[in-house]
Amino acid sequence: MLLSVVVPCFNEEENVPYFYEELMKNEEFFASREMDVEVIYVDDGSKDGTVAEVKKLNEKDGRVKLISFSRNFGKEAAIYAGFQKAKGDYVVMMDADLQDPPSLLPTLFEYIDEGYDSVATRRVSRKGEPPIRSFFARQFYKLMNKISKTDIVDGARDYRLMTRPVVDAILAMGEYNRFSKGIFGWVGFSTKWVEFENVERVKGETKWNFWGLLMYSLEGIVAFSTAPLALASYLGVLFCFLAFILIIFIIVRSFFWSDPTPGWQSMVCIISLVSGVQLLCMGIMGQYLSKTYLEVKNRPKYLVKEEI
Ligand code: UDP
Ligand code: MG
């Protein structure tokens, strides 16, 4: 039996050796299951000494592997690359900053033994996170679950232990615009959720700012819901209806009373409103079109510079 640990790293030189240490505290547990381990660090175009640190580890321990990208392709691409390289019967994906505690692994395996195909983790608290971010994150999950058929769990982390069939299913989803939380939900399989308290990153800084997260959430919506596309037709029907009522009202009024107001102000307001709505709807369609465009180009999801 082999366990592959996939670790996406972007400027994580301080965390690379630290993560290895923490993971290998499970060595006895691995031995007790007669399970080999491979650790696949995926360097996502880091500008610091991440690659050098992984190489150092590799010299000490041949079970450590490296995939290094030619530039930053994003965490989603790094996960995909790691999964492609993973040979394990089980694959687990963890952040390099130890926000996904390796000490949880024995618990995750308990559920695999119970027969689950995949064991996912979810943080129950968001302590250490700015309150505004938590608020918007919650709203995002609420909205997402309303407009998408795929279940996307609030607080879910990408930290997941999977059996081979699940990994193969994820690899079969070859889309360019990847949104892991959606992909994991989409493939299905029996999944057990394990909860843990939020852990703050040990060293370095988060790669996400508010704007980045907002853009990421919009991408998630475009990738896993087509509900916004229907918005144009709903609004269209609504405005037609309103216009129809208005026409009748104006005709009736001009029959029975003379029409004293030229009414240009109200005209301008209505035109601005309706053209605003039209632009919004066109923008939404543009979002989907641009994603389709990228998908159709069929570019590689990442480019490898070096592999060990
Ligand atoms: N990461 C990556 N590529 C990126 C951004 C992040 O591979 O472009 C990795 C990062 O090194 C870390 C994980 O993804 O291992 C999670 O990133 P981070 O801790 O910054 O996100 P947060 O935990 O704050 O959501
Ligand atoms: Mg983190």
- Write out pLDDT tens, residues 235-247: 888 888 888 788 8
Q: Is 128 left (phi over 0), alpha (psi -120 to 50) or beta?
A: left
Q: Which residues contact 202 (CB under 8 A, 6 or more apart)?
A: 14, 15, 18, 97, 98
Calpha distance 170→172 (Å, rounded):
5
The 10s digit of each residue's pLDDT in 232-279 is: 888 888 888 888 788 888 788 878 877 666 777 778 778 878 888 888
pTM score, two decimals?
A: 0.79
Per-10-residue mean pLDDT for the chain, 308 residues long? Answer: 93 90 89 91 91 90 91 92 93 90 90 92 79 85 83 83 94 88 87 84 78 85 83 82 82 76 74 82 86 87 90
Residue 298 CA, ligand 2 centroid: distance in Å: 30
Residue 112 is inside which H or E element, if any? Answer: helix 105-113
Between the CA of residue 6 and those of 24, 90, 92, 161, 208, what are the distances in Å?
14, 11, 6, 10, 20
3-state class (DSSP) for residue 32: helix
Q: Find residue 5's DSSP bridge partners.
A: 39, 92
CA nearest to 219, candidates 182, 176, 165, 177: 177
Predicted local distance difference test score (pLDDT) of residue 67:
94
Predicted local distance difference test score (pLDDT) of residue 260:
62
Calpha distance 211→100 (Å, rounded):
24
Q: Which atom of ligand 1 is nearest to the CA of 12?
A: 11
Calpha distance 290→76 (Å, rounded):
19
3-state class (DSSP) for residue 39: strand
Q: Find residue 191's DSSP bridge partners.
A: 118
Q: Which residues contact 217 (CB under 8 A, 6 or more apart)?
A: 140, 144
Residue 250 CA, ligand 2 centroid: distance in Å: 60
Calpha distance 136→132 (Å, rounded):
6
Predicted local distance difference test score (pLDDT) of residue 261:
66
User: Alpha helix (H) ranges present in 126-190?
Assistant: 131-147, 164-172, 180-187
Calpha distance 129→206 (Å, rounded):
11
Q: How many other C-beta atoms can be found within 10 angstroms of the C-beta atom of residue 194?
A: 16
- Which residue's entry shows tokens 């395996």? 109
Calpha distance 294→223 (Å, rounded):
12
Residue 96 CA, ligand 2 centroid: distance in Å: 8
Ligand 1-lining residues (CB < 6 angstroms)? 8-10, 12, 44, 72, 74-75, 78, 95-97, 99, 201, 206-208
Q: Which atom of ligand 1 is nearest to the CA of 207?
A: 20
Residue 60 CA, ligand 1 centroid: distance in Å: 25
Tell me if 196 sits within 8 A of 156, measured CB to CB: no
Q: Which residues contact 104 (CB under 8 A, 6 or more apart)?
A: 121, 159, 194, 196
Best residue for ligand 1 mutational test, from 10, 100, 202, 211 (most atoms within 8 Å of Cβ): 10
Q: Which atom of ligand 1 is nearest to the CA of 99?
A: 23
Calpha distance 86→67 (Å, rounded):
11
Q: Which atom of ligand 1 is nearest to the CA of 206?
A: 20
In this structure, the residue with its CA closest to atom 16 of ligand 1 is 95
Residue type, 139: Q
Q: How many other C-beta atoms can be found within 10 angstroms of the C-beta atom of residue 135?
A: 11
Residue 105 CA, ligand 2 centroid: distance in Å: 18
In this structure, the residue with its CA closest to atom 13 of ligand 1 is 95
Predicted local distance difference test score (pLDDT) of residue 87:
92
Residue 200 CA, ligand 2 centroid: distance in Å: 7
Name the token pair of 8: 């996406």
Predicted local distance difference test score (pLDDT) of residue 6:
95
Predicted local distance difference test score (pLDDT) of residue 161:
94
